[in-house]
Structure 1
Amino acid sequence: MATTDEIPGPAGLPLLGSMFDLRNDSLGTFLNAQRAHGDVVRIFAGPPGIRATVYAVFSAEGVQQVLATESANFRKDNAFYQELRESFGNGLLTSQDEDYLRQRRLVQPLFTRRRVDGYAEAVATEVARVTEAWRTAEDSTVDVIDEMTGFALRAVARILFGTDVEAAVEIVERAFPVMGDYVLRRGFSPLNIPRDWPTPGNRRALAAHEELYAVCDRIIAERRAAGTAEDGGQDLLSLLSEAESAEDGSFDASELREQVLVFLLAGHETTATSLGFALHLLALHPEQRKRAHEEVDRVLAGRVPGAADLDALPYLTQVLKEAMRLFPAAPAIGRRAVEATEIGGHTIPAGADVIVAPWVTHRHPAYWEDAERFDPERFTPEAEASRPRYAWFPFGGGPRACIGQHFSMLESVIALAMLLQEFEIEAIDTEVPVNAAITLQAAGSARCRVRSRTGGGAPSAGAGPADPA
C-alpha cells in the first residue's frame, strides 16, 4: 500500500501550490488533476504555515467508500460546513450524529413518494406563471438559467409556505446571494477575522442573515398561531410544525427555522441548475429536442402533467439525468477523514480534507465514452445497470443522500414537460461558463429564443386529471 507521501498531484507554484488554480477554476483543476495523476490525488494550496492539503477521490469505487460504505469515517467537519452552519443553521444539510438522525426521522415521513406527489399541482401553478411570462418576453428571448432559478425558488417557497410565498421570495432573492458569497469566501480562506468584527463584509452578511431569519420566524409564528396554512391546506411548514414522535419529540421554533432555511437553499438552487441546463442542452440539440417534444405530445396530449405521468415520460427523465451528469448542482462534495483510510491503494491520513467531485467522476473515461457529448441514451435502464453505482451521484449517496431526490425529479419533469408542451426553444448562447459556489453557478448567460408551439394559451394547472392519493 502506498504511503501518504506517494499520493500524486499537481506541483503548482513553488510557494503557493495550486492556490490560484483552485481559486480561479477549481473544477478545471480537479479535472486536470484526475487526467494527469489518477483517481486519488493530493493538492496543496497556500503558503507554508497556513497551507491547506486536499485529497481528491475520483473513482466510483472511491466515492462509494467516502459517501456510503465508510461514511462514518468521513464527516462534515470541515471549515466550509462550519461556515454553512453559522449562516444557515444546523438543519439536515449540516447537522451530524444524533442531531442529524433525529431530524431525519422527523422529516422523512414528509418526503415519502406519496406525500411528495401531492406537491405536483403547486409545481404546475408556478410553471404556468413562467409560460405566461415567456409568451410576452421581449424579442422572444429568455435566459433559461435565470428563469429556472426564479421558478424553482417560487415553487419550493409555495410548497413550504403556501400562500405566504410572496413575502419569502423577495427576501430570499436578496439575502441568499449575500450569504452564499460570504460562506464561500470564509469557508475556503486559510484565515478569517471574527464574524462579529464590524467590517463592511460582516455587516452586509449580518443584515442579510437577520432579514432572512426574521421573515422565517414571522411566518412560522403566524402559522403556529393560526394552526394551519391560510388556505386551510397542508403546506410543508404546517407538516414540519406538526412533525412529532415519542422518541424524537418535535421541532422547536429555532429548529423549524433551520429546516426551512435548508429546504429553501438546497431545494431551489439544485433543481434550478438541473432544469436550466436541461433546457439549454435541448435548445442546442434539435434531434434530442424533437424526441422530447414527441414524447410530451404523445403522453400528455395537451393536458397538464401530474405525478402519475412521471413513469410515462422516460425520455424527459433521461434528458434531466444527462443534464445532471454534465452540470451537477453539487459539483464537489467535501468531507473530513476521522481515521486513516485506504482508497485506491493510497492512504488518506486521519484528519485530512477529502473531496469527491461529481464534476470529474461524471466525466471519467472509465464510465463515460465521449464524456462531453450530450446523450440522454446514457440513462436507459440497460445503460444505467451496466455502470458502477457511484459513476453518477448528483444527489450524493449513502446515509446522507439528498432527502429531496424524488421531489427534485418530480418538479423537474413536470416543469420540463409543460415548457416543451408550450414552446420551441433554440439556443442563442452556445456555451455557458460555470463556476463552483455553494452550488454550481452559471458565470454567463444562457439565452434562448422561445416560440409558442400552440398559438394559444397553456393548459391551466387544474386541467389535468387528479393525481392518485
Structure 2
Amino acid sequence: MGLSESIPRAVGEQGETPVVRRGRYRYPPGLRMNLPFYRFHRWFDPQNPILLFEYLRRYGRAAHYRILWNDVVLFNDPADIGEVLIDKAAFFGKDRTQKRMKILLGEGLITSDGETHRRGRRIAAPAFHRRRIEGYAGQIVSIAAEVREQWQAGVEFDIAAEMMRLALQVVARTLFDTEVTPEIHAINDEVNVIMDLYYFLVALPRAELLLNSPLPKMRQFRAAKKRLDEVVDGMIRSRLAEAGSRSGSADHGDLLSMLVAARDDEAGGSGHRLTSEELRDQVLTLFLAGFETVANALSWTWLLLGQNPDAQARLHAEIDAVLGGRLPTLEDMPRLEYTAMVLSESMRMYPPAWAMGREVLEDVSIGPYRLRKGTMVFFSQYIVQRDPRWFPEPERFRPERFTPYAKAGRPRFAYFPFGGGGRQCIGESFAWMEATLTLVTLAQRWRVELVEGQKIELQPKITLRPKNGVMVRMVGRD
C-alpha cells in the first residue's frame, strides 16, 4: 500500500508555492467542491482517510478542502509541520476528531489540552523515567520467550492477533502488575467494541449531545463504556485502598502504582494527586497507547520481514552475533543496530500513529499561508514518511535508511512516528524497548514466511492496523 503511482510529483516543489487568497487569509490549493460532494470518487472512503490524503499529495506542500463550513488544511512539508508542533504550538489546540476521543478516554494525555495536559504529563512523567521502564525489560523478554515456545513449525496463524495477545500480557504486567486476568480481557474486549464504533462516533454530528439517545450504536457504546469504567475503576479502588493501608505497599513496581502515588510538586501544583476519575482516564490512555501501538508495529514488521528475506537473514545474523544463543537483555540494545533500523523502517512505512491533527485557536501564519481561527490542520506520518524527497523509492523496505548518516541528512519532521513537540509520546522509550526486545526474542528462534494469496489492507482507526490480519508460518532456526 502506498502513494498512487498516478500521482505526480508535488506541485510547487520548486519556485513559489501557490496560494489561494480568501480575503486576508491565504490557503493552499485543493478541492474545489465541499468534500461530501466527492463521495462517489474512488479516494473518498470515510473508513480510510489515507486514500484522501494520498490523493491530496498531488497539490504538493499543502492542500485545502472544506467539510461543510469547516476549513481543513493537510500539511505535507516537514518545515510546516515543525511550525505547527513547535514554533507556533501556542496557536493550536487538539482537533475536533481527537476531542471526540474524550468520549472514550476522558482527559487522558492524548485528549487533554492546556494546563490539564501539562499537569497530567508532569504527574505521569516519573512513571516513564528511564530507570523505571528499564525494570520491565526482563518481564518483556520472559513473556516473549514463553510465547515463542508455544509456536509450532509450519502452522498457519495470524501474527497480528498473536502480537495483540503478547502485547496484552505485557501491558497487564507493566501497567497493572498482574497476569491476563478476566478483568484484563474485559478491558480489551470493551476497548475493541468501542474501536469498532470509532468512525461512527467521529463522523456523527453532535455525537457528544447524542450519547443518551436511543440510537442502537449509542446504546452499544454506552454499555461498553459502562463495563469498561466499572472494571478499571474497580482495579483503581483496590490499588488506592492498598496505598492507604498501613500494611499495604503503595508501589507494586507497575505504572498504575506509580500514578496512584505520584504528586505534582511543581510551582502551582500544590502536591496535587490524580483523582479516581483522572486515574481512570490516564489508565485507559496508557492501555490503548501501550497495547495497540507496539502490537501493530510488530505486526507490520513481521509482514515486511516475510516480504524481504534478505533483510530477515541480516536481522538473524545480528541477533546471533550479539546474543550467541542467550536471551536478550536491556544492555544488548545499543548493539542491536540493524534491529533498530528494521523497526524504524517498518514504522516509516506503516506508522501505528498514522496521522495527527490540530485546530487553529487564533489566526496564524504557517509558511506562506495565513489560516483563520477554527481551521483544522492535519499531517499524516503515513504520507510524509513516504515522500520520495526524503525516502527515494518509498515503497521499498530499506532499513539502511536509518543509519546515523542517512538520518542526519533529513529534516526533523520527515520522520515522526511518535509525534513531536510538547505532546510527543511520553512512552516512546518504553515502546522502543518493548518492540526491540520482543522482536529479538521471537526472531532468535523463528523465521517468518507469509501465507500465499492473502490481501493485506490498511485499517486506519486510532492506530494503523492490518485490516484482515497477517497470516504466516514460522520456520524454526534451530
TM-score (norm 2): 0.88
Secondary structure in 2 aligned to 1:16? helix
CA 22–109 in structure 1, closer or farther in 2 if over 3 Å, else same: same
Q: CA deviation at 1:445?
A: 2.8
Q: CA deviation at 1:79?
A: 2.6
Give the whole-Å Cα distance in 2 for the aligned partners of 1:310 and 1:427. 27
- The answer to whether the aligner puts 1:435 opposite 2:459 as a matched pair is yes
1:355 to 361, 366, 378: 378
1:143 to 140, 153, 158: 158
- The answer to whether the aligner puts 1:7 opposite 2:24 as a matched pair is no
Give the whole-Å Cα distance in 2 for the aligned partners of 1:14 and 1:338. 23
Q: What RMSD over aligned residues (CA atoms) do the two structures have, in Å?
A: 2.2
**Match runs of 1:199-214 below 5 Å:** 199-214=215-230
CA 298–224 in structure 1, closer or farther in 2 if over 3 Å, else same: same
Aligned to 2:136: 119
- The answer to whether the aligner puts 1:338 opposite 2:361 as a matched pair is yes
1:30 to 45, 49, 53: 53
Aligned to 1:216: 232
Moved more, 444-453 or 56-65: 444-453
Aligned to 2:169: 154
1:4-24 per-position Cα deviation (integer Å, ceiling 9, x unaligned): 545211346896246861415
CA 39–229 in structure 1, closer or farther in 2 if over 3 Å, else same: farther
Aligned to 1:56: 74
* Identity across the alignment (%): 33
The one-letter amino acid paired with 1:226 is E
1:37-77 per-position Cα deviation (integer Å, ceiling 9, x unaligned): 111101234xxxx454321001111111111221121211x
- The answer to whether the aligner puts 1:364 opposite 2:387 as a matched pair is yes
The one-letter amino acid paired with 1:244 is R
Structure 1: give runs of 5+ residues left out of the alignment: 455-469
CA 378–73 in structure 1, closer or farther in 2 if over 3 Å, else same: same
Give the whole-Å Cα distance in 2 for the aligned partners of 1:210 and 1:83. 17
CA 250–13 in structure 1, closer or farther in 2 if over 3 Å, else same: closer
Give the whole-Å Cα distance in 2 for the aligned partners of 1:38 and 1:9. 10
Give the whole-Å Cα distance in 1 for the aligned partners of 2:350 and 2:248. 36
1:237-272 per-position Cα deviation (integer Å, ceiling 9, x unaligned): 111111114343111211111111100011111111
2:66 to 25, 32, 44: 44
Say how many residue pairs are matched.
446
Give the whole-Å Cα distance in 2 for the aligned partners of 1:300 and 1:215. 41
Aligned to 1:179: 194
Moved more, 396-405 or 340-349: 340-349
The one-letter amino acid paired with 2:347 is M
Give the whole-Å Cα distance in 2 for the aligned partners of 1:88 and 1:111. 20
Give the whole-Å Cα distance in 1 for the aligned partners of 2:299 and 2:307. 13
Aligned to 1:316: 339
Q: CA deviation at 1:179?
A: 1.4
2:263 to 244, 266, 270: 244
CA 407–293 in structure 1, closer or farther in 2 if over 3 Å, else same: same
The one-letter amino acid paired with 2:397 is F
- The answer to whether the aligner puts 1:263 opposite 2:247 as a matched pair is no
Give the whole-Å Cα distance in 1 for the aligned partners of 2:77 and 2:39. 22
Aligned to 2:6: none
Aligned to 1:16: 37
CA 24–182 in structure 1, closer or farther in 2 if over 3 Å, else same: closer
Q: CA deviation at 1:311?
A: 0.6
Give the whole-Å Cα distance in 1 for the aligned partners of 2:414 and 2:436. 22
Q: CA deviation at 1:33?
A: 0.9
CA contact (8 A) 1:4 1:348 kept: no
Secondary structure in 2 aligned to 1:23? coil
TM-score (norm 1): 0.90
- The answer to whether the aligner puts 1:103 opposite 2:150 as a matched pair is no
